[in-house]
Structure 1
Amino acid sequence: MQGKVYLVGAGPADAGLFTRRGEEILKRAQVVVYDALVGQGVLGMIPRDAKLINVGKRASHHTMRQEEISRVLVEEAKQGQLVVRLKGGDPFLFGRGGEELELLVKEQIPFEVVPGVTSAISVPAYCGIPVTHRDYCSSVHIITGHRRVDKQYNIDFEALVRTGGTLVFLMGVTALADICSGLLEAGMRADMPAAVLQKGTTAAQKKIIATVSTLPEEAERRGVETPAIIVVGEVCRLAERFSWQEKKPLAGKKILVTRPRELVSEMAARLREQGAEVLELPAIRIVPRECAGEVEETLKNLRTFDWLAFTSPSGVRVFFENLKKCRLDIRSLSAVKLAVLGNGTGKELEKYGCYADLMPQQAYAQELGKALAEACRGGERILLFRAAAGSQELLEELAKVPGVVVNDLAAYDTVYETSPLIDVRAEFEEKKTDYAVFTSASTVRGFAESVPGLDFTKVRAVCIGRKTKAAADELGMETFMAEEPSMDAVVRLVEKLAGGSL
């Protein structure tokens, strides 16, 4: 059986700019051959069981030669694998995608190309620079700034100057002085606006605006890190007027959010909306327990319970997965009242067409226990569908009501896992990430398990509640707790921290 190769453009870095088609293909990948310029957010979407091949391509530093990369794509496809060649930006814009297709075509390997958002357009946009504007120019030209060692530029600078359009140089920061000199010698005005844009669409985004004659000196004075692009043209005048990304409350902040692998993080989405670069780390994985007989017997007798209680969105998801396996549906819940711990769990329940009858004002296990206890008069039967390592505080509160019978069904486990793609230890020890957000004590423990050797005192932990904070305190983290256990309160706390008001 022959496989297939997809050349997929990952965009500039921001996971929000990854195309829907690219994400769809990546989720099915069996082998992923990826570049150093692929953003961490996109790397986090790679399936856990996919084979990973890092070819590490950056200017002047290739982990694997281009010929070897092409050979690897062919070999993996011939083994019947769905192979994703994941490239920063767009595969065909200085991404050497065409070169990789040459061997695929020769070997008759099926392939598809998924275009990506190029940094040549998106990075200037994030820095307030439209690459075209009717009042300033009528064309845009994208040029590779990379030059082989000891070779002259094969660029017709005079032709570029004559266009009068916006010039975007990719991979040219190390030769910035030569590029500016070439443009000046070709007749470009010395006061032509120009910019160096560093690490666009990330928290480390920085723009240096000057002129063609002063940009090399200004870039050296302020320091520039790669990857970065060079933009030359009148449109650079608009950078301050049209700036928008850096005006968001969390712009320039990088935040790690831990979550179960199976769940899309609403917290991450909220933080991104406020301008943060969010690194999602699946620190735990939800694994249904091998207790099919007990679960099936309990679900078939749901009508014998007065209350069904969930303490997490994962519990809701696993419950309905088991309900389907038993060929049951929501009609089984017709006589049962539903209790949930927190808005997140309630919203997960709503996805299945059900609404909670009871939700405590504060999302703590003890508070859910108190609320359930108050709703009982004695003799009720309660089913707790939750993780094996559930809080005992909930049970302690229910034990105070005479005659209440509780079936504490340990339906799933939380398994800790590590990320082979992201050096989380370096993120904190090198101060690349500003805060870690934790929404449960289990994700704190999962994070700790996933980063052996990390000096946890370097982690600034934003915690949703008391138990989460206690778990982070135990590790020696610098902790901050939201005023109430809700996502809104966590986001407000992060904004206060970022703004220096705490």
Structure 2
Amino acid sequence: MSKPVVAITRPKDRAKKACEIVEKLGGSAILAPTLDLEPVNTESLKNLVARKDELDWIIFTSPTTIVSLNKFYPDFIPTLKCKLAVIGNKTGKLAEKNGLTVDLMPEDFTAEGLIEEFKKREITGKIIGIPRTASARPVLPQELEKLGNEVILAEAYKSLFPMDENAVQELIQKIENKEIDAITFTSPLTVENFFQIAENKEKLAQLLNDNLLVVCIGPITAKVLEKYNIAYIYPDTYTVPDMMELLFKTWREENE
């Protein structure tokens, strides 16, 4: 059986582990980030840092949030005294590596999963800080406020259009040449930007459906793929390792 060629579209600074997993599972990885992340020191982030001692909870939704806070405010995380909620294993592990204790991580690694946990615990009347990207979905702060909490939103990093469009164009060419066996998407923007770069979106969607195994990290990203009428699969647990395990299991079953 030949080695599957797997396209990785996640940001470059997060792609190393994904590429390593592909190689470990017996595939070949092609990296073409359709999203770039840049830490930023915004006024809203300064405000959150200034109000640190008022916080009852802080929520980290991605590792990049932690990277940004450490870059601009290295004393912030070591002196946090509030409770911590995270979305995802990777974010939780990085928080613990930075000396924090994770008080809450939902089994469902989505904003909705975290909201359900806050509802179950009847967390209300609290001040909750959420440093994240401005392009994130509004559901988390909105629902937490509906529960009677005060939410301090802070932009900690920007989600940018790919800095290397040529790499994505080259990936599209490889897809047209049937040189790619599978493609992975780890966030809604990785899908949106991918199709924004494509000159013929309908043709690209057809190529994905006809020739590639499309795997995404979870239901939120899946909704964007549905918008482009693309067939997909995603794992029960929304992590990159589980996504890759599912990809290789499915690919081998289809190519035996």
Give the structure-2-normalised TM-score.
0.87
> Highest relative contact order (Cα 8 Å, sep 6+), 1 or 2?
2
Considering only CA atoms, is the larger Rg found in Structure 1 or Structure 2? 1
Q: Distance in 1 between matches of 2:198 and 2:216?
A: 18
Q: Distance in 2 between matches of 1:492 and 1:376?
A: 36
- Partner in structure 2 of residue 226 of structure 1: none
Among 250, 263, 266, the alignment partner of 2:17 is 266
- Partner in structure 1 of residue 241 of structure 2: 488
Among 300, 305, 312, the alignment partner of 2:50 is 300
- Partner in structure 2 of residue 347 of structure 1: 93
- Counting only pairs closer than 5 Å after superposition, residues 414-425 of structure 1 correspond to structure 2 as 414-417=159-162, 418-421=164-167, 423-425=170-172
Query: Mean Cα displacement is larger for which, 417-426 or 463-472?
Result: 417-426
Amino acid at match of 1:316: I
Q: What is the RMSD computed on CA atoms of the aligned residues?
A: 2.2
- Partner in structure 2 of residue 174 of structure 1: none
Q: Distance in 2 between matches of 1:358 and 1:394?
A: 15
Shift in alpha-carbon separation, 1:400–1:472, aligned structure 2, 3 A: same
Q: 1:129-171: per-residue Cα shift (whole Å, max 9, x none)?
A: xxxxxxxxxxxxxxxxxxxxxxxxxxxxxxxxxxxxxxxxxxx
Does the aligned pair in 1 maintain the 2:49–2:76 contact within 8 Å? no
Amino acid at match of 1:424: L
Q: State the secondary structure of the residue aligned to 2:103.
A: coil
- Partner in structure 2 of residue 122 of structure 1: none
- Where in structure 2 are there 5+ consecutive unaligned residues? none
Does the aligned pair in 1 maintain the 2:216–2:232 contact within 8 Å? yes
- Counting only pairs closer than 5 Å after superposition, residues 78-477 of structure 1 correspond to structure 2 as 251-289=2-40, 291=42, 293-324=43-74, 328-333=75-80, 335-402=81-148, 404-417=149-162, 418-421=164-167, 423-453=170-200, 455-459=204-208, 460-477=213-230
List structure 1 segments (4+ residues) > 4 angstroms apart after TM superposition.
none
Does the aligned pair in 2 maintain the 1:369–1:395 contact within 8 Å? no
- How far the C-alpha of 1:453 sits from its partner, in A, is 3.1
Amino acid at match of 2:207: K
Q: 1:275-332: per-residue Cα shift (whole Å, max 9, x none)?
A: 11001222111133462x43223213211101110111222211222213xxx24332
Q: Distance in 2 between matches of 1:468 and 1:329?
A: 31
Q: Distance in 2 between matches of 1:363 and 1:331?
A: 25
Q: Which has the higher helix share?
A: 2
Q: Distance in 2 between matches of 1:282 and 1:353?
A: 31
Q: Distance in 2 between matches of 1:295 and 1:409?
A: 5
1:498 maps onto 2:247 in alignment: no
Does the aligned pair in 2 maintain the 1:317–1:348 contact within 8 Å? no
- How far the C-alpha of 1:257 sits from its partner, in A, is 1.0
Give the structure-1-normalised TM-score.
0.46
Shift in alpha-carbon separation, 1:352–1:365, aligned structure 2, 3 A: same
Shift in alpha-carbon separation, 1:373–1:332, aligned structure 2, 3 A: farther
Q: 1:423-466: per-residue Cα shift (whole Å, max 9, x none)?
A: 11111111101111111112112222344335222123201111
Q: State the secondary structure of the residue aligned to 2:178.
A: coil
User: Aligned pairs, how many?
Assistant: 247
